[in-house]
Amino acid sequence: MPSFKLDGTEIPFEPGDTIIRAAWRAGVEIPHYCWHPGLSVAANCRMCLVEIKTERPMIMPIVAWDEAKQAYVPAGKPKLQPSCQMPAVEGQEVFAKSADVKKAQASVQEFLLLNHPVDCPICDQAGECKLQDYYDAHQATHKRKHTEPVHKVKAESFGPTIVYDGERCVMCTRCVRFNDEVVGDHVLDMRERGNKNEIALSPGRTLDHNYTLMNEHVCPVGALTSKDFRFKARVWFLKSQNSICTGCASGCHMHIDFDPRNNTVYRLRPRDNPAENQYWMCDDGMMKYKTYHEGRISEGRVREGRGPKIEVETEEAIAQAARLLSGASSKLGVVLSAQSSSEDNFALVTLAKQLGADKLYLTALGGWQGDDIQRHPDNNPNRAGAKQVAGVELKSLKDLLADVQSGAVDSVIALGHLAAESAEELAPLASLKTFISLASNEGVLPELANVVIPIAIHAETNGTFVNFKGLAQQFKRAIFAPEGVKSGWETLDALSVALGKQPAFGSLKAVRAALPAVKAPVQEAQV
């Protein structure tokens, strides 16, 4: 592979790479604001200027202060080039830390901060702001301008999810290019000139497509902020865990940002993965974090006869489920979930075999509007994984209803809480003497069940999702489950013990060792 030298370090590059892209791929950051690996080159921030050594160096005539003469005299300096525009060339020497480059970076920083408000204490970007990072690294001098700064629009609502602060904006145009090039919607543009520049909405429009939160994500400063995350947490208190999005069958790579002090998730962010989701996530995927805490089931629930369900300890719910299942016949219906991990689904299939049940069904959401960016039409993260671990054709919940009404099924154990069908459509299930639901959240299935056993959500456990391409992607626990609540496979192991059988697995390693092979290699959720 061809390479060039960057500050004495060999940097390999691919055909068509620019200097900054090759350096970024090698893990070397050249300071920048407007450049983004998923967007076109704008070269307007001038922060990524570098010095390129050539046989015929380009020298700019300048005047420089001569200390001996105590006067400005004619001089020259190398012409710096934007590394986001300059193609990488075999054998060239590039300097991103020379004296001339450092001076240019400091000047760009000072220019960008001339009218910037000093509102870091209330800015949601504080702690992950490029202006803060680069000020410390490349300027670190006091502000010389003492006149009144130019004032612009503050806290302007761009739509249901995004707020714009014009005074913080450095006019990098990432948001404009993202909407134009990725979404294909020219909803944002620049207006005015010079220090009057602002980002503005197209007349009569609001920022309301399926990827609006990405505008906040691509903004390198605090100009575009999320209404949902605004003023909720400080990023230096948050920890991150690599994970996989549960929004649809695309299997986007993401970060779960959580506060370990209160075991709370505050946001989800896309994680760079050029092979799967590139650099993007849709709004619905990023807002899935709310299900981690809203409508949670943390206690067992048991209903006797037609009476109301009462809350019990998880162990008591498992014992009650075991009592009901001990008399289960071959008419037991076993419902897998396209929302649950392959490990949890496989554990339920294993239990079904222990009980001699062969009637397998699948519960799933009914789909949403897909697109050519990231959203897959199937809004279930693991339909492929559930089908693979089943080993047989899975019937739908409509088939289950038909089997219940015909008498072919007289008891049910179901994984997950979500279904495309409503409670009214699934009403015949409520009449069953045995309907056991293993669920993490409120939903139609636990609502109808007479025994509800709580299980951990995706963010509270380790697991695997198989996306629509057949790629198995593992994710890791971010936060802790409520006390006494365990993953689906651990809960099913406990149910096996309560039934007087040996636990099927005993460890995550054992579950994964027994999982059926998938089409593509297993990929762990890592950067």
DSSP 177: H
Q: Which residue type, as a one-letter code, is found at position 465?
A: F
The reported pLDDT for the residue numbered 527 is: 36
**3-state DSSP call for residue 513?**
helix
388: which residues sit within 8 A by CB, 6+ positions away?
A: 342, 466, 516, 518
C-beta separation of 105 from 134 below 8 A? yes
The reported pLDDT for the residue numbered 521 is: 54
Label the pairing between strands 71-78 and 59-66. Answer: antiparallel
Which H or E run contains 215?
Answer: helix 213-218
DSSP sequence for 311-380? EE-HHHHHHHHHHHHTT--TTEEEEEETTS-HHHHHHHHHHHHHHT--EEEEE--------SSS--S---
Q: In the sheet where 9-12 sits, what is the strand order?
A: 9-12, 3-6, 93-95, 49-53, 81-82
The reported pLDDT for the residue numbered 142 is: 84
Give the up-direction half-sphere exposure of residue 397: CA atoms within 13 A in the CB hemisphere: 27
**Distance from C-alpha of 216 to C-alpha of 129, rounded to nearest angstrom:** 12
Label the pairing between strands 224-226 and 239-244. Answer: unpaired
Give me the average pLDDT of each 10-residue run along the chain (527 residues).
Answer: 94 96 96 97 95 85 91 92 96 94 93 92 93 87 87 96 97 98 97 94 96 97 96 95 97 97 97 92 97 95 86 96 87 96 97 93 95 96 96 94 94 96 93 94 96 97 96 96 96 95 90 80 52
Residues in the chain: 527
pTM, full prediction: 0.92
